[in-house]
Chains A and B, each alone.
Chain A
């Protein structure tokens, strides 16, 4: 069974400080991992996915297969980064479904 764990429900950092949102997963095969973000009163949207290795809004995430982690990082947090962040995992192949973590509410303080 696949599982995603986000150990922090709430995370607060000051503007300009580095931020790291933790995500650990368990999956027996080779997963595809994503970070989704939901800003206040907006729909859930894709932030980034590990296979593209891109940086969106200054966020990066590196897949660490040894530690089965996919932590989301940003060197300098901005107030507009305040949102709910979900880590998600999907299996490869035709039978795809997203398994979400429980989410981390990030608040960036002025």
Chain B
């Protein structure tokens, strides 16, 4: 069974640019959540999608957005990048209705210069 796949693994962007990250959940998982991991703030929840609808959103500015497609794949977008957006972005999938713990991807390491 394939795990959660995130692409790309690494990204370097310049301040002011925008970036799109992709996540393919485990087959059969309909919920996809995104987390930001930084040394200073730790793991912080960004948002969760289920059935192509955003179900919950963390405390991040509107520059952070996402979407989910009918095949449950998800993308997150960050516009007008700032240096502080440099982080590891983790995607996690879950069957959601069965109250399981999440399965995480390896993450996308974003560096903003």
Contacts from A to B (Cβ < 8 Å): 32, 34, 36, 43-46, 49, 51, 86, 92, 94-103
Contact = CB atoms under 8 A, between A and B. Distances in A.
Contacts of A100: 35, 42-44
Nearest to A32: B99
Contacts of B43: 86, 98, 100
Interface in B34-83: 35, 42-45, 48, 50, 55-56, 58
A49 B104 contact: no
Contacts of A99: 45
A97 B58 contact: yes
Nearest 6 pairs between A and B by C-beta?
A: A46-B101, A100-B43, A44-B104, A97-B45, A95-B56, A43-B106
B23 interface: no
A45 B43 CA distance: 14
B104 A43 contact: yes
B103 interface: yes
B37 to A, nearest CB: 9
Given A86-B43, A96-B55, 8 more contacts: A36-B101, A43-B107, A46-B102, A95-B55, A95-B56, A96-B31, A97-B45, A100-B43
Interface of B: 3, 31, 33, 35, 42-45, 48, 50, 55-56, 58, 90, 92, 94, 96, 99, 101-107
26 contacts: A32-B99, A36-B101, A43-B3, A43-B104, A43-B106, A44-B90, A45-B104, A46-B101, A46-B102, A51-B99, A92-B99, A95-B56, A96-B55, A96-B56, A96-B94, A96-B96, A97-B33, A98-B33, A98-B35, A98-B43, A98-B45, A98-B102, A100-B35, A100-B42, A100-B44, A102-B42
A45 B94 CA distance: 13
Q: Which of A94, A95, A96, A101: most chain B CB closer than 10 A?
A: A96
